[in-house]
Chains A and B, each alone.
Chain A
Amino acid sequence: MGLNPYAPKPARIVGIKDETPDTKTFTLSPNVFEGFTPGQFAMLTVYGVGEAPFSICSSPFDKDFLQFSIRRMGRVTRMVHEASVGDEVGVRGPYGRGWPVDTMNGRDILIVGGGIGLAPLRSLVLHLLEEREKYGEIAVCYGARTPSLLMYRDELAEWAGRGVKLYLTVDVGEEGWKGNVGVVTTILGEPELDRATAIVCTCGPPVMIRFVLRRLVELGFSKENIYASLESRMRCGIGKCGHCHFGGKHVCLDGPVFQYDEMTGLPKGISPF
């Protein structure tokens, strides 16, 4: 038999960090991938329970571990949340098409995230910061429903210190929040970027992506430079099981990162338009 694509490789949980009340970041070691592109995903197995797709949120430059930020949502994620450091899980991948990192050299980059949608974008930010000098401006516009739902809060300041222009917003403020209040579309115009050539990468809830795409075009960003990461139920990750097949595209193979024009051709429901 050739390689069994349904068999994950074992890895241990070596770190668990609380991000928000319902989301934790898990560090797995060893890094079972030879390499990956930011924005790619993996299938994570809780043995005997199930398997689900998650964006890789660590940097491809981190060779020793992989990280996944996981929100408690269904059966598999609940069991992941109940796992402890030292527990073994299964990982297979990396799958799909990630962010267009090869096109980013010398250009301004705008990263727009909503809620846990920052996870695949964190991988991109860390990748860009590794060779910061290769790129123009890097701006991150990030929003969450409330301040306590902002992901990677302790890292955001560090990103800013390493050359990222950071714009944060929340839908509803909390005590002590002095930042912007409003949805993420209200801050997209703030970064000073060369909008004609800047690459834009966005991920978040479907409704956010829809309004972000609309706003980006209004602001003069070029459609051919706009990319979004979409989500779908998946079982195999390799284009065989049919679950993520929409309008002739497999989210697992053709995505999860899609260019603006590719998304306009997707059927209603999966299309952010």
Chain B
Amino acid sequence: MERLSRVLFLSEDGFKIFLEQLVSSKNVIAPVETDGCFEFKTIKRAGEASLNYSNTRLPPKRFFLPQREVVFKHDPKKGTLHEPLGGFEMVLLGVRPCDASALSILDSILLKPPNPDPFYESRRRSITVVSLSCAKPGEECFCNVFEAGPVRGSGEDITLTRITGGLLVEVRSSRGQALVDVFKNLFEKAGAEHLEEYGELSSRLTREMNSRIGIARERLVRLEETLDEGFFQKEAQRCVECSLCSFTCPVCYCFDTEDYLEKNIYMRAKGWDTCASPLFTRMASGLDPRASRVEMFCHRFCHKLSRIPLAFNSYGCVGCGRCVSLCPAGVDIREVLKRWG
């Protein structure tokens, strides 16, 4: 087993108290079941959290990268308005490891010097991410391919894993430590039997997932060079350009900006955009360097599977399976991976 930074044990009863005390003292966002779907919502009572879920329908990305946010205000008389960023403090509880891993990829891209995104940075600093290991990966899940789960992610502050009699608690960051410190009398030292069970669970789940889909990841990076135009023909023909794949992706981060006038203040908002949109690269002149859907797919998949890994040593996909289950045209990145790898 990998070296853990700090491992604790939380009994079933201790977890109940932890949840109750957490919601009474902090702004807590957790999966809530509504109409058969699990979505991250603010909870006021511990009982509102539904923690028996495969994954939430939407990733928690929007808490770090809102669909739309104002990034600039300019008053024609007073000049640029400098408003302090803040008020983002919250605990995001029950994030799946794949979605937590997506955050570490976003960190490497959006916090990259010399121009880190201050809006993302401020939220990332203020939100404590508590992940909950998967006990039963969903049908479309393939986090194993990118080592983004199923038990442990790479971007969370605390990893919770259900084991006999309670939860194993891995403290992964100083933010996680600060949260644990608040409730320190609830946690016990993890015993050897806890670690052993954790280790067995981790290897069993990974083994099971590997038997469903296994890809030689190191091959993905280099295969871009050998791609021909026909490689994405099937995907390109099926695609209806709805962009659901990237809007529900926990990693996709591209954005557009919009300038407008509101109550005599000039505003600039930034909001989600996607390379799957046919207008994404078109210039005012009408020239479009990436005009075809085949080229779009090539860009989308190569970006995730070879360019991000080459630049940041981690994949731009975490295998959450949302794009697979939500695509109305049945485009399946796992098929691409199998064909590719």
Contact = CB atoms under 8 A, between A and B. Distances in A.
Given A240-B117, A248-B310, A269-B291, A51 B282 contact: no
Given A3-B118, A269-B295, A246 B290 contact: yes
A87 to B, nearest CB: 11
A240 B291 CA distance: 21
Given A10-B80, A243-B281, A235 B255 contact: yes
A246 B84 CA distance: 35
Contacts of A10: 74, 79-80
B253 A240 contact: yes
Interface stretch (B235-243, B266-274, B332-340): B266-274
Chain A, interface SS category: loop
B115 A5 contact: yes
B76 A47 contact: yes
Interface residues of A, number: 44
Interface residues of B, number: 53
B261 interface: yes
B186 interface: no
Interface in B107-147: 109-110, 112, 115-118, 121-122
Nearest to B73: A7
Contacts of A206: 287
Contacts of A7: 71-72, 80, 268
A70 B27 CA distance: 49
**Most chain A CB inside 10 Å of its own CB: which residue of B72, B253, B275, B307:** B72
Contacts of A3: 118
A233 interface: yes
Contact of A47 (B115, B266, B283, B284): B266
Contacts of A46: 259
A6 B311 contact: no
A174 to B, nearest CB: 23
Contacts of A73: 284-285
Contacts of A191: none
B295 A1 contact: no
A215 B216 CA distance: 43
Contacts of A77: 284
B202 to A, nearest CB: 33
Interface of A: 1-8, 10, 45-52, 73-77, 88, 90, 206, 231-233, 235-236, 238-243, 245-248, 267-270
6 contacts: A1-B84, A6-B270, A73-B285, A206-B287, A232-B283, A268-B295
